[in-house]
Structure 1
Amino acid sequence: MDKPNSPQEVEPNKTPKVLDWISKNIWIFAVFFGACVFFGFLAPFVSAKPVTASWNEGGYWEFSHGDRTDFGFGMIFGQGSALVWPLLAAFIFVLVGIILSVLGMKFPWSLTAAMIVYIVAGIFFLIGASFYDYANCLHIVGGQAFWDYMKDYRSNSSSRLGGGLILSAVFAFMGALAAFSAAFDKEKMSIRDMTEIGILTAAAIVIDVFVHYVIPHIPGQAGNISIATLPLFIIALRHGPTKGFFASGLVFGLITCLSDGYGFFLYPLDYLVGFGSCAILGFFAPIIFSPKAKTYNLKGEIAIFVGVILAILFRMIGSMASSMINYGYTFQAALITNAIYVPVSGALALVILMGAYGPLLNLNRYFQSRSIKAE
């Protein structure tokens, strides 16, 4: 006599199907969280004291402020304040991230691109109060004397981040996580891949430790000049942006954050975004390692140049945002404290990569990465 199916026998078979559907459709969550970013429109973006300025007899601007006021999403269109264009750009980034997430069904690389634009948008939301001060001070005093008055303006404005931008930032970062999960789920990691990525990541960590403990710190800078990003760039080139971000932003970023000892609160911007930006070069790998490229060629060199410059730019964004959010720096101070070591470190890695382009082509010809083949 056959036993009737019990709930205990049927239920376990349903769970794997649900999990399997989720794993295959994580891109939908990236789209969903991206759309949820716009729920931030329902709450104030910034709380600040409106600032007015008058030209006094001494020949300079004098600020005064009114009562604290909440400013909503209208500020990104210039309503109630100057046009805060960086926040408008951030919401446009989110729309781009949504489109890229949908395209991820056909083009896996677009999910990694969606993750990057979501992260940038989230950072912009978190420093939205500074953008508000920047836009309004610039509107009042003009560009010529802007930096002379920015600190005084901020002390009068006393701007604070509102619930709307915080909510938008949270959803943007959740969208980034979903996009990365979807991208990584499509990647296959062979033993050879793991070995090569492990060796190169270890090399980057050794370089970083050597620089941190041996080379003197540059006065006035948030870090030291280093070529620790060189192995990370090679990972992105050899294995694509998704594995590149995993190795540089997650593995290398987390280990170096703990070894540096400055505090885990710096990890999201200085390490995850800062070093994870090396993965951008992976988007250019199909051009750099084109089947037609047999030796040094102009097209490949230009692709390396553009990819590394974009990575430097994104690292600057992460480092400056960290200085502004974690230490309360002004935009000018954050720019100055990162203006030497980040560009110079990136430039050194760029020169070495461009010089080693020929050997890298030969290496990839004999030991081609599966990630590059797929693209």
Structure 2
Amino acid sequence: MFESLAASVFDSAEDFWSWFGDKPLKIILILVIGMVAIYVMRRVVTSLTERIAIGQKPRTVVQKAPDPVDTTTGGVPSTAPAKGKWRRKNMLMSPQALADALGAANPRVAERRAQRARTVGSVLNSTANIVISTIMALTILQILEVPVTGLLTGAGVVGVAVGFGAQSLVKDFLSGILLLVEDQFGVGDVVDLGGGVVGTVEAMGLRLTQVRAFDGTLWYVRNGEILRAGNSTQEWSRAVASVQVPLGTDVDVVRAALGRAVDRVKNDPEVADSLLETPSVRGVDAVDALGLTFTLHAQVRPAQQWLVARSLRAAAHAALLDAGVVLASSTVPYDESVQDQTGSA
């Protein structure tokens, strides 16, 4: 009787392991492998995006302390580095170090890079989760001998129906991804998105972009509806100031006065850091019944064109008054497309 009971238990255990090793074990292995793959992909993508967002920290170079006594200098401690300790590559700045330096000089660059990297990383994580989960589900269904072909056909029909109904939403998401990847504009940029939407970008998402206008209006723009985007603060800007004087004014006198005005702006410590080139006078740009129009311009740092343009106008006004030139009573019309979005006109 004991032998028959042992044989029955052995047969039951063998049947269990035979059953367990057929489908349940395969399903468990697929789930474990899939979860590990998702975890690894998320860690890799998150690590890369955070490294790009935060930036590579420059390595600190620790110099070896000089010898307390240097016999070659008569017992005076030497502070010169030993020969062969420094290589030429240490004097070169890597691309990452250059990006960190630019980010330190302009905080908006670092903020823009961080937002773009984290958003793209979120999209990659979601895509990896969907792809791996779909492969896991299809593999498990095949193991359970469920007809996958019929499910795929039905899912395809449903997907087409949903796609037609939500095509504008899909268009917004795809456009948002392209806006971030191509770096057309970012948070803090002054943009013109068409349709009267001109202002400072306050937030960017995959579906919507929020733009704060000069009068305080917050515009919500769908990314799929952005057909053109004018960025006034990317990489560099140009300050343009127009000055009008009466007809019959001596052009040489005006140019000399405006030359002194640009020199004054160039030497102004409050403006000098914003300049990328020396301001210049382009000359007479227009002649009409109101007078002669002269243009002063300079290449400046992003978002500094309004500050420099105001300084150029003020300096030109003072210089022309000192030269005895009377300014025309009518000024050049103000261009709303280049209005100051930083808080003052």
TM range (shorter): under 0.3
Q: Which has the higher strand share?
A: 2
Bigger relative contact order, structure 1 or 2 (CA pairs below 8 A, ≥6 apart): 1
Larger radius of gyration: 2
Q: Which has the higher helix share?
A: 1
TM-score, normalised with respect to structure 1: 0.24
